[in-house]
Amino acid sequence: MMYTIMNLKPGLIVLYNDQPHEIIEAKHLKKANEMALMQTRLKNLITGSIISQNFKHADKFNGAEIIRKKVKFLYNHRGDYWFAAENNPADRLVLKEETLGNEKNYLKAGTLIDALIFEGKVINIVLPIKMDLKIIEAPPGIKGDRSESGTKEAILETGAKIKVPLFIEQGETIKVNTQTGEYVERTK
């Protein structure tokens, strides 16, 4: 499918420089005595890099055909992250740590996620927006003289470090926003 700048909106996946990119932001930009531009931020679905790019009214884009497949995270070993197809555990795939980017900080064994497939090859994964993760290490929350307003650094079961409120203790389970890496709420 062919798109123009008028079709660009967040969530749309297009081919740009022969690689699939997801539109993160798209804003119309009009300068005096010039044609309208579309100011965008694009995320490369293969490398995970984010770029800013302006497009002119005449620019055209092909849609990228991305297939989503449910997979379960199994384990990681020496920078390789192993997954199995939801409906066929013998169907395994592996992704390198560099490909996953920040998503690796929230992967725990048994998590069901979407694998993105482009031209027959798995290029990346999509995590749920919010995930429940256990705190394995958190210093005691001490009120008084502090440089941060009521937060402390805790370590999740995946090894990721996150800022949490002072009342969160070791052993508790919290909801984490996987897109921003921020604490959302305590789970019961």
Give tens-digit pLDDT for 12-33: 999 999 999 999 999 988 776 7
pTM for this one?
0.75
- Cβ-proximal residues to 111 (8 Å cutoff; 6+ apart), any chain: 72, 73, 127, 131
What residue has token string 């999740």?
156
Length of the chain: 188
| Domains of the chain: residue spans and CATH | 2-63 (2.30.30.30), 66-126 (2.40.50.140), 130-186 (2.40.50.140)
Cα–Cα distance, 63 to 60 (Å, whole number): 10
Output the CA angle 77-79-82, nearest 5 degrees. Answer: 55
- Does residue 10 have a pLDDT over 60? yes
- Does residue 86 have a pLDDT over 60? yes
